Amino acid sequence: MVAQTRTANTTQKKLSFNEKLVGKNLGTDALLKKLKALHTELAGLDQEIVDVNSLSSVRTQLIHTSLLLHKERGVKAYVACCLADLLRLYAPDAPYTVTELRDIFQFFFRQLSAGLKSTESTYYNEYFHLLESLSVVKSVVLVCDLPNAEELMIEVFRDFFALVRRDLAKKIELFIADILIALIDECQSLPSEVLEVIMGQFMDKNARMDQPAYRLAVQICNTTADKLQRHVCQYFTDIIITNSRDLQSESDFEEIRTAHELVKQLARSCPSLLHSVIPQLEEELRVEEVQVRLIVTQTLGEMFGDKGGSDLIRKYPSTWSVWLMRKGDKAALVRLKLVESARGLVLNLPEHRETIEDVLRLKLLDPDDKVRAAVCKVYSQIDYETALHHVSTSQLRAVAGRGMDKKHTVRVEALNAIGKLYALAYPEIENGDPSAIEHFSWIPNQVFHIANVTLESKPAAEQVIADHIFPFPSLPNVASTSTSKNIEVDEVAWMDRLLNVMQYLDDTAINAVLSMSGVKVNRPTAYEHFLQTCIQNNGGVIDEDEEAVKRKLGSIIRHLSKHFPDPHKATEDLQAFAKANENRLYKLLKTCMDLQSDLKSIVKASNEFLRRVEQSHESILSTMTIFLRRCTLRILNQSSISPLLKRLQKSSSSSVASPMTKHVHQLLTYVSKHCPALHKAHIGELTKAIADEKNTMLVELGMQALAAVVRTDESLPSLDRRTVDRIMKFALGENARVAKFASRLLASLKGCHEQCKNIIESVAQRLPDAEPEVLVAHTALLVQMARFRSEAFEHRSDDIMAFLVKKLLLSPSQDDDGDMDVDNDWVNDDDIPPILRARIQALKVCRNRCLAHASSPNAIDIATPALKMFTTLTQHSGSFKVDARDSPSIKSRMRLQAAISLLHLSTIEAYATVINPHFVWLAVTVQDPCYHVRMIFLTKLISLLSPRKLPPRFNTVPFLTVLDPEDDIRNRATAYVSLANRTLPPAARVEYLEMIFIRLLHLLAHHPDFSIAHENLQDMAKYVEFYLDQIISSENISLLYHLAMKAKTVRDAESHTYSEHLYAMSELAQELIKARAQARSWALQSFPGKVKLPSDIFRSLPNPEAAVKILKTVYLPQETIEWLAEAAKPHKTAATTAVKEKRREAREARERSPQGAKRKASRLRVNGAAK
């Protein structure tokens, strides 16, 4: 108890009050009056000068039971105040016995509990005085000397914590804190119940500093930390030991979990209490019991990740290190808990960034998918500033890499994380912030690459693209329809976002954007067919052709569901949607699919569609969300055209080099090529655009768009005379691209036959004297006229074709010998010299003329010279003569154009028959020494194979890419074959992918590099293995083996030598198929059906004796037979081994070669030594 020194020399002051406080005839009012007077006098006395002897009378009377137990609250309030004053005046010695003191303090605390409930209480000031006295004088410490001190302390703490919850005045809270702190400081031993009362304030998960009881507990703990440390540690230890003896049920762990929650709360508010507890937690990290490790890992993780985490790590570095070691815990749940705590670490521990990133990067490769997903989720929960300043770009790229994880949940979390961060960063990227651009602008590029890699990753990537990269503009919630009609959507900002994103995309990603836009699809789409069939199905109530409608609906659903993440669920959900038969949903879907719907209509219809589906058919929402996303023009639609044209109008013709202008050009060109109907609502704008002669790019794109829309929609009104004259002027101009589209537009317009004839006449006269640049423009015009106005072209075709062939194509190259560079085998589009460009256009004229006359009786007569010219160019590497000294770059361009022309002409059955004898030379273009020739040829081939425009035999060509030194060519071919194999109907799959096996063997037998030598046959085996890798299955192995066998029952149509090659390939294929069957435990049964071999490449054997002789003869060398037998043992095929070896060598070569350089095929044609 605080004592004050009495001054001996000062005159002592006596208490003047001498009235009786106890008596039978004393009324309550009189007693109150006396007590009030006494309290007033006692409160005014100074401890240093009071004569304590004068206090004896009142000292004895005040503890009389009639006063302490008086019915009147006021009496007890004043008695309590007077007693408190007496204790102050007598300090440091109490004037009462131990028993009396116990009763007094119990009396005090009862009064305080009852009297401080509200400031409105009648005697609130007296209770306030009592509390203040106990706090200031510290007379309460006398409690610690009483025999039952512990019981009284427990009562005090319980009462005061209950009292403080009433949200009392701040001063009262401070007085209570002083009293309780004094009790803890002075007590000999702290009762465990008192500690439990204090700790109980931290147990509430929602405890906050604005809660008085929690605030009081925090103040007490921080002030008495030195004394409480040992007690808190013992308290925590007792809980752990008590509950760790027999850990059987979840309830046993609940107490341990609660104790750790308490530690976590203490760390947040009173970290100094935990000096001895943290090392104990460190030991828990090492225990065998998984649940305990789980709890302590989570607890420490949240503590380290809190705002005071840095101090904690500085004070307990050993605990931090041991906690980090849990990243390798044998229990996946423990590793998961560590990772889940990482968000706080990333946010609050920037100085430990490298350590945290190392741990998380390691956990991105954790064997458990939940751990990998949790790491990705951490980065979806951080804000933009944290990601920018405290997360490295390499770490974000590592997270993005998990977008190709084998587990769906990981892919979703990874893509969602980087998508959210990009959405947060986009405003800064748009404003040109260099840090934001460097840190986040690569994200869309990565997402589009991931979407392209596998079908498994595509749905998650599509979702992120729709939500975060190209989100729809949001519409405010409006109650009335009339108001909603006036809502505007910012189409310019929406379009600018696409252009801004495209600035940071590479060619592959841009192609993915265009592909995902839904612009380039055959219409009506499968989604439109589904909707139409749903309407016909009418929920199952069908008026006519019931079986046909149901069969069609089932077929479409099967086709669509193949492309969903869960095909089985997609099938059920699409059937449920059809069964629901809600006309409003059908109408909304129609709006979303309609090419003439603007952005606002699409956004409103999409939102309403999803809202209605969620309300009435929630179980199918996920499937219908994907369906809606894929059937809607979300990226490019009718509303895109105006903003794109306006961007071009603002830019001058000199801004072609601007990346954004290039992307505008790319988008408008793409729309014109693949979905010109989007231009229909903008005919007026496009007509105005072609009048701006100063803006060449705008004129070019306007012409292209008008030509495309006029050709596809005959219902459009005719253009005025002035516009037609302008088009004719541009068609005869010097700009090749403008002339190309102007002539195409003119050829497509109704009633312009005379104008077309006049233009052809004019060009025919100008050709001989035309300068190179003008010659390019005129040949570009002729390409269009030959295709779309053949009757006008034929008016002067003799003169034109004579000039193009004799004067242009067959004239010697103008390149000097000194300019020829054997390593420079390609010239980029922008660098093609005008004469070469004109020669390429001349080849296109020849091709288009053939296509225009495809249905005429004399088609073959017209086409024969052109076909001969094209085949000559493919066979002579791009020259018309074997010994021509043309530049390699010219030859590569010429043979590429010839090969592509042959592909186009092969789509016409009559021409395909003529081309067929030269098929081998056309096919091996895919193995051209020049990378660009191979890639462009393969791309064009696939674009014609996908819609099945080419004969089935052309499907053999992609299999010739297996030895290509560039991954992207092999990958593109593999992707096409894989997609075709997965999506073709069964009958078409047999025709286009399985029956062609015999043609592949024939093609390889005719291959320019084929020989019976063992080394060569090893190469041939790789082609067959590549085919088998993609196509063979347990269902078709019998057919493929049968086809391989049948190759020895016929002879080649050309020569005996090729027959022997074919028989060797037959034996090789049989052995490889048998090895495959053995390795996969497939039954190799006889094919039950009959197969008719193609008569264009095979002939029957002359007699049975020849057949027997061929069957008995072995055409493979002994060395090859032994090699096949060895390779078949563990089915690690020689072909597979050789391909891996070749790729390893190619990798090493690439590392040695200049960065970015594309490699030539290692043979003249076929990736081997030049012949």
Stretch (H or E) spanning 1050 = strand 1050-1052
Assign 1140 a pLDDT band (cuts: 50, 70, 90): low
Average pLDDT, the chain: 87
**Sorting pLDDT into bands at 50, 70 and 90, what band is 1136?**
low
CA–CA dist 956, 942 (Å, integer): 11
> Whole-angstrom Cα distance, residue 157 to residue 193?
9
CA nearest neighbour of 1012 among 935, 939, 1065, 960: 1065
- Cis check for the bond before 834: say yes or no (omega within 30 of 0): no
* Span 936-984, pLDDT tens digits: 999 999 999 999 999 999 999 999 999 999 988 999 999 999 989 988 8
For the packed helices 290-304 and 317-324, what is the interaxial angle rounded to 10 degrees? 120
* Per-residue model confidence (pLDDT) at position 57: 80
Cα separation, 793 vs 786, whole angstroms: 6
pLDDT higher at 209 or 252: 209
pTM for this predicted structure: 0.80
Q: Taking the CB of residue 33, how many other CB atoms lie within 10 A of it?
A: 13
**Whole-number Å distance between alpha carbons of 513 and 503:** 12
> Quick check: 461 and 450 in contact, CB under 8 A?
yes
**334 pLDDT more than 90:** yes
Strands 1098-1100 and 1050-1052: antiparallel
Most confident of 124-138, 1081-1095, 1132-1146: 1081-1095
What is the distance, to the nearest Å, from the Cα of residue 489 to the centroid of all Cα atoms in its chain? 26
- Does the structure show a pLDDT above 90 at 94? no
Helix, strand, coil distribution of the chain in percent, nearest 5: 70, 0, 30
User: Tens digit of pLDDT for each residue in 553-602?
Assistant: 999 999 899 888 889 999 999 999 999 999 999 999 999 999 999 999 99
Percent of the chain with pLDDT over 90: 57
C-alpha distances (whole Å) from 621 to each of 575, 603, 1092 are 13, 17, 49
Task: Note the pLDDT of residue 164.
Answer: 81
**pLDDT, greater one: 717 or 557:** 557
Q: At what angle do helices 997-1005 and 1056-1079 cross, to 10 degrees?
A: 130
Q: For 853-966, where are the alpha helices, taking DSSP H only?
A: 859-875, 888-905, 909-915, 919-923, 931-945
Amino acid at 280: Q
- B/e letters for 770-809, b = 16+ CB within 10 Å, e = fewer, are beeebbbbbbbbbbbbbbbbbebbbbbbeebbebbbeebb
Distances (CA, A) of 807 to 770, 797, 839, 842, 881: 12, 15, 10, 11, 16
Q: What is the pLDDT of residues 1157-1167, one digit of tens each?
A: 555 554 444 44
Run of H or E residues at 1051: strand 1050-1052
- d(C-alpha 374, C-alpha 1081), whole Å: 40
Q: Is residue 1109 classed exposed, middle or buried when 0-12, 13-18 and 19+ CB atoms within 10 A define those classes?
A: exposed
Lowest mean pLDDT among 725-734, 784-793, 1133-1142: 1133-1142
Helix, strand, or coil here: 1100? strand
Contact 1058, 1005 (CB under 8 A): yes
Q: What sign results for the dihedral spanned by CA atoms 843, 849, 851, 857? A: negative
* Residue 524, preceding peptide bond in cis (omega within 30° of 0): yes
- Cβ-in-10-Å burial (0-12, 13-18, 19+) of 211 comes to middle
Residue 3 predicted with pLDDT over 80: no
* pLDDT tens per residue across span 155-184: 888 888 888 876 678 888 888 888 889 888
pLDDT tens, position by position, 768-777: 999 999 999 9
**Which residue in the block uniquely carries the two structure tokens 């007569």?**
861
Instruction: With cut-offs at 50, 70 and 90, classify the pLDDT of residue 396.
Output: very high
- Residue matched to tokens 């770059």: 889
Total length of the chain: 1171
Query: Do residues 107 and 61 make contact, with C-beta atoms less than 8 angstroms apart?
Result: no
Q: By percentage, how much of the chain surpasses pLDDT 70?
A: 91
Residues 762/785, Cβ–Cβ less than 8 Å: no
Q: Are 654 and 695 in contact (CB under 8 A)?
A: no
Which positions ≥6 away from 106 have C-beta within 8 Å? 152, 155
Strand-pair partners of 50: 13
Look up residue 1086 and give its DSSP letter.
P
Please give the C-alpha separations between residue 872 and each of 868, 918, 927, 1040, in angstroms, as whole numbers.
6, 10, 17, 34
pLDDT number for residue 203:
80
Which range has the top average pLDDT, 57-66, 223-232, 811-820, 996-1005? 996-1005
Per-residue exposure over 583-597, b if at least 16 CB sit within 10 Å of its own CB, e if not: eebbebbebbbbeeb
Q: For residue 541, what pLDDT band results from cuts at 50, 70 and 90?
A: confident
- pLDDT winner (highest mean) among 7-21, 716-730, 821-835, 937-951: 937-951
Q: Mean pLDDT across the stretch 545-553?
A: 88
Position 200 pLDDT exceeds 50: yes
Confidence bin at 1143 (pLDDT 50/70/90): low
Contact 790, 783 (CB under 8 A): no
Q: Please state the rounded mean pLDDT for residues 724-737.
A: 92
Q: pLDDT-derived band of residue 825, with 50, 70 and 90 as boundaries?
A: confident
Residue 1111 has which token pair?
Answer: 């069957």
Read off the pLDDT band of 476 (50, 70, 90).
low
Q: What is the mean pLDDT of residues 834-843?
A: 95
Tokens coding 929:
């020494």
Condensed to tens digits (0 to 9), the pLDDT of residues 115-159 reads: 777 677 778 888 888 888 888 888 888 888 888 888 888 888 888
pLDDT band at 251 (very low <50, low <70, confident <90, very high): low
Residue 515, C-beta contacts closer than 8 angstroms, at least 6 positions apart: none
Distance CA 546, CA 537 (A): 8
What is d(CA 570, CA 102) in angstroms, rounded to the nearest whole number? 78
- Does the CA dihedral 664-668-674-677 come out positive or negative? positive
Q: Which residues contact 22 (CB under 8 A, 6 or more apart)?
A: 61, 64, 66, 67
Backbone angles phi, psi at 286, to 5 degrees: -100, 0
∠ Cα 781 785 787 (to 5°): 125
**Which pLDDT value is given to residue 257?**
84
**Burial group, residue 407, by CB count within 10 angstroms (0-12, 13-18, 19+):** middle
Nearest one of 503, 707, 702, 484 to 605, comparing CA atoms: 484
Nearest to 598 by CA among 564, 637, 629, 571: 637
**Looking at residues 214-230, what average pLDDT do you find?**
88
pLDDT tens across 600-656, in order? Answer: 999 999 999 999 999 999 999 999 999 999 999 999 999 999 999 999 888 764 444
Question: Could you tell me which residue, 252 or 639, shows the higher pLDDT?
Answer: 639
